[in-house]
A = this chain, B = another copy of it.
Amino acid sequence: MTHDQAASARIAAELRSRIIQGVLVPGTRIRQEEIAEEFGVSRLPIRETLRILESSGLVTLVASTGAWVSALDLDECREIYLMRERLEPLLLRMAMPSHTAESFIEFEASAQRVEAATSPGEFLERDHAFHRALMAGPTTIRLHDTVDHLWNLTHYYRRQLLAPNAVTRRSRREDIFAEHRMILRAVIDGDVESAEAMLALHIRHTRKLVELYPEIFTHSGAGVPRSSR
């Protein structure tokens, strides 16, 4: 079939993936023609793609000038974490009624996979999978999208936090595992209040860690337009 979905949406998904995986570093310029050539389409769908990414905050575009991968500063990152501290517990609460005994087994396995991760990339991937599994509910599309969106916005910096510095990785690693187990325990017990509180604390701890390493927000490129949305 010629287009199982619109080209703009498909390319937007691909670019989003590159941005959150750090292939496209915040601050780098995006030239329409370059992307168009790579995907073998005209510039037109690319323009639509950039509008989509802009309205979700991943790309900052200046009229008649160009598009850049949005960069966050520490305050914005903190703000996003604060939002996650409020929203993810809510999402977890709404997902919990639909969990079953089979879900719990899968959650345990997922938590095990996080602990068995050997590389930062693997860890990030599996950690995200664990959180997504816990909060996967049938009837919360918008909330789920919002949470996913917030996660995407900070994914690059989370990776920065883990990748270069073995110290931050070591010190926090065991804490994260313990927190995961406590969240999982509360979920299995059906204790909504504990699960919410523990998940909020989990995110809060990560935020505190981010605030300890503000140097990950110093992008070398000086002329990077800041995000406007």
Contact = CB atoms under 8 A, between A and B. Distances in A.
Interface stretch (A101-109, A141-149, A210-218): A141-149
A63 B5 contact: yes
Interface centre among A8, A142, A228 (most CB of B within 10 A): A142
Interface string A136-155: 00011111011000000100
A170 interface: no
Contact of A83 (B3, B44, B143): B143
A79 interface: yes
- How many chain copies does the complex carry? 2
Interface in A17-57: 44, 47-48, 51-52, 54-57
A86 interface: yes
A90 B80 contact: no
Determine which residue in A47, A80, A153, A228 has the highest number of CB atoms from chain B within 10 A of its CB, and name it.
A47
Given A63-B5, A83-B90, A141 B227 contact: yes
A45 to B, nearest CB: 10
